[in-house]
Structure 1
């Protein structure tokens, strides 16, 4: 058996590389990572199999490397195999530790925003453990643990959807540990029937367009303008906020919005109607004012003033539609209304930057009567 410490030959995008323990057991070679240690090749002493003293964290890193090497060596000297290495340790590993490892393994594939969200989950699990005076370990999480976590999140004022996202990240991290826990898939929110997301009809959009600015005031008028632009261009709020003059071009006397969807990384080109052009010029092509949360709260006020008060289902009760509107309702409404007007789903997908038809289809919110009225124009129903 041969065991030595090496610097991984394939560096990451930032030029650093992982430190790993090389094991050759009867001709079979495996590498075991030393957690959370990445260094530039210039700091690695190949002969001493250690981090050079000139590295600011040399002592700490070398202590971790020695501990990891001893752990690996002890396992195999005691007759352990590659298959069972770390299995018991993984079962007793803290959920937060597993999440840290998951972040470490996927940081090159995930965006900084996604990494930040995983760190947020780690903080919530720590708070949950502290509140319940427990220690959440990978081998013991199950449906009961998930229910307790969801109740805790609710007590802190978070919505069930937020808890569900945290549990999804926990499942991802748990699966990566390859622990024999049959309950991992049950670590999720219990499913309740939810009402479909709402959308605004063309008539309701017109109501919003026609509210005099004097009735809204500067802030509400600005948020109303941003909502309408999101509707005209089928944009997410984040893409709307990034608009600038450079996103617009003219061809054959017609103006077009040309952008790149942040989520799907796809290019979109959308014709600019006169109403949209007037709003853009009014705000000097700058739609960055106010946060998403602020816009969401204010667009409901605009919708109430506009009289968008048809009753819709929300949490098993009927409420005025203005209470459930958000900035994203604009994108959903545009997709639904274009579909009802007869545009092909492929065309809508191209305009809005959806990756595929299946991801677009969840945006369509027309009801049975809407579809029936649309179908009436076809010969089959005449």
Structure 2
């Protein structure tokens, strides 16, 4: 009796031209320059599956500005068109677009990185692309002290709707303030993430596993919602109503700070509630852990998922008063 042959279907793959990966980097003469925006698009497309959505969005913005610059000045931008002179002009263009200084710095550094990669791919590049030395300015962001977080947690809302939306958003925010997770992570917590008194989560942005001891408030919030804490809110909706909630609670201290926008230094004064967003939670958790003085930096980094101290300390928001109080008990200041 003949045996039945099981047919196995394979996806039909388009045949691509053969690539010589070895000799590509060994040509004596560099290739001609190619359109810079096209090169960026090709590189990003290859890497986008392994990166977060923010990765593609950032480069999409750069490509958009490159194309606008090209149309405005009626010029073609190749990989070997990116010179020191071009970058100077492009920075002025971005400033005229009203972008903040640190946003511009991020764009320029990413463009330089792409030109460096084009050079590695043996495309023609100009040697002066790396001559621009532009650095970020100190950023300003608020954090919430443990006293403020406690005040937020115990605040009693009046005249709520049936869904108790204010209370649900407040509770979710408090979870973020005590876990140091990003919004994409603390807004998607489920019963499975609470394990033996710990919050266990694989982070969406960096794809690393973190394990954070669950604060008593966090345990109470899980119990309050029968282990199904509020979730599913888009970040824009969350941030919009979070500010209104913080205003109602009374976080209205006046805060003055400066930043560069459109090439001009601006100084503004805002009430604290206006500066609070979903990411304030993560920043507050990292800062408050650090301020205890009992946790080592590397231990906190394990909880936050940071891989370098440089990136970690960008989250720590200490005022001069905080620093003075922290070190005032040291024996150095005693007889």
Return the TM-score normalized by structure 1: 0.68
Q: CA deviation at 1:236?
A: 0.7
Q: Give 5+ residue unaligned stretches, structure 1.
A: 1-13, 24-28, 33-80
Q: 1:380 to 1:22 in 2, by over 3 A?
A: closer
Q: CA deviation at 1:248?
A: 1.3
Q: C-alpha separation between the residues in 1 aligned to 2:284 and 2:166?
A: 20
The answer on whether the counterparts of 1:199 and 1:329 sit within 8 Å (CA) in structure 2 is: yes
Q: 1:206 to 1:30 in 2, by over 3 A?
A: same
1:338 and 2:270 correspond: no
Q: C-alpha separation between the residues in 1 aligned to 2:188 and 2:289?
A: 24
The answer on whether the counterparts of 2:202 and 2:208 sit within 8 Å (CA) in structure 1 is: yes
Aligned positions, number: 304
Specify the alignment match of 1:20 in structure 2: 18
The answer on whether the counterparts of 2:172 and 2:229 sit within 8 Å (CA) in structure 1 is: no
Specify the alignment match of 1:243 in structure 2: 189
1:100 and 2:48 correspond: no
Specify the alignment match of 1:322 in structure 2: 273
1:184 and 2:129 correspond: yes
Q: CA deviation at 1:238?
A: 0.9
Specify the alignment match of 1:48 in structure 2: none
The answer on whether the counterparts of 1:22 and 1:30 sit within 8 Å (CA) in structure 2 is: yes
Q: 1:98 to 1:210 in 2, by over 3 A?
A: same
Specify the alignment match of 1:126 in structure 2: 67
Which structure has the highest strand share of the two? 1
Q: CA deviation at 1:202?
A: 1.8
Q: C-alpha separation between the residues in 2 aligned to 1:174 and 1:377?
A: 51
Specify the alignment match of 1:294 in structure 2: 237
1:82 and 2:27 correspond: yes
1:230 and 2:228 correspond: no
Q: 1:122 to 1:267 in 2, by over 3 A?
A: same
Q: Give 5+ residue unaligned stretches, structure 2.
A: 1-11, 259-266
Q: CA deviation at 1:138?
A: 2.7
Q: 1:31 to 1:358 in 2, by over 3 A?
A: closer
CA RMSD of superposed structures (Å) = 3.3
What SS does structure 2 have at the residue aligned with 1:314?
strand
Larger relative contact order (Cα-Cα within 8 Å, sequence gap ≥ 6): 2
Q: 1:153 to 1:94 in 2, by over 3 A?
A: farther
Specify the alignment match of 2:219 in structure 1: 277
Q: 1:265 to 1:108 in 2, by over 3 A?
A: closer
Larger Rg: 1
Q: 1:124 to 1:193 in 2, by over 3 A?
A: closer
Residue of 197, 200, 218 corresponding to 2:144: 200
Specify the alignment match of 1:350 in structure 2: 302
Q: CA deviation at 1:176?
A: 1.8
